[in-house]
Structure 1
Amino acid sequence: MENDILFNIGQLIYHKKFNYRGVIIDVDPHFMLTEQWYQKMANSQPPKDQPWYHVLVHNSAQQTYVAQRNLTDDKSQKPINHPEIDHHFSGFSEGKYNLGLRIN
């Protein structure tokens, strides 16, 4: 069974199918949304028994829900531009976002 979680919260990712960068804000060990959403949105019908990720999309206000098989590491190590980034992370260093309280 191949449901090992490959990406962590704060990690930069690249969507292989839709060509966008993003950052992981949450991880589900398997598909957790409704069957109706899956039928409508999951065009390629990715496996439900593998990890799915909540992602903030770079240069957008959009958040997506993505199957693990559609993601790879974002090699750019550049920060993500998203209006909710400060809501989820305390900072950015060494190519990833840091969890924790933001200190001003």
Structure 2
Amino acid sequence: MQKYKTAKFQIGDVVKHRHFAFRGVIFDVDPIFSNTEEWYEAIPEAVRPSKDQPFYHLYAENAESEYVAYVSEQNLERDDSGLPIRHPEVEDTLVVTDDGGYRLPSNSLN
């Protein structure tokens, strides 16, 4: 039986990468790695994360563009800048709260 680690972050949390200059909002969480082996092997071995930790799907952005990223928990930290996420898909999936945070729409929680 696979034992899963409790995720440190949740859907709607704004996070930033520990080593690369991008940030984003979480829109999905995998309890363990759930991408292709080819994707995993493309990560340099010296910085390749363990598969047995949560991985997060982010609406991500850097200074130049917006994109979707898949990032291990060990490479994320909370982003407390308070800046909004400009990714165009955010409004399709998440609701902006009164305090500027993000959450799933109420009808998707059922």
With structure 1 as the length reference, what TM-score do the two structures score? 0.86
User: Which sections of structure 1, spanning at least 5 residues, go unmatched?
Assistant: none
With structure 2 as the length reference, what TM-score do the two structures score? 0.81
The 8 Å contact of residues 29 and 56 in structure 2, kept in 1 or not, is answered as: yes
The 8 Å contact of residues 17 and 77 in structure 2, kept in 1 or not, is answered as: yes
Change (3 A) 1:93 1:58: farther
Paired AA for residue 13 in structure 1 = V
- Residue 35 of structure 1: CA displacement? 1.0
Distance across 1 between alignment mates of 2:95 and 2:54: 25
- Residue 45 of structure 1: CA displacement? 1.1
The 8 Å contact of residues 77 and 94 in structure 1, kept in 2 or not, is answered as: no
The match for 1:22 among 21, 24, 27 is: 24
The match for 2:91 among 66, 86, 92 is: 86
Paired AA for residue 47 in structure 1 = S
After alignment, is 79-88 or 51-60 more displaced?
A: 51-60
Moved over 6 A (4+): none
CA RMSD of aligned residues (A): 2.0
Paired AA for residue 50 in structure 1 = Q
Paired AA for residue 66 in structure 2 = A
The 8 Å contact of residues 7 and 54 in structure 2, kept in 1 or not, is answered as: yes
Paired AA for residue 59 in structure 2 = L
- Residue 87 of structure 1: CA displacement? 0.9
Say how many residue pairs are matched: 101
Identity score, percent:
41
Distance across 2 between alignment mates of 1:95 and 1:74: 13
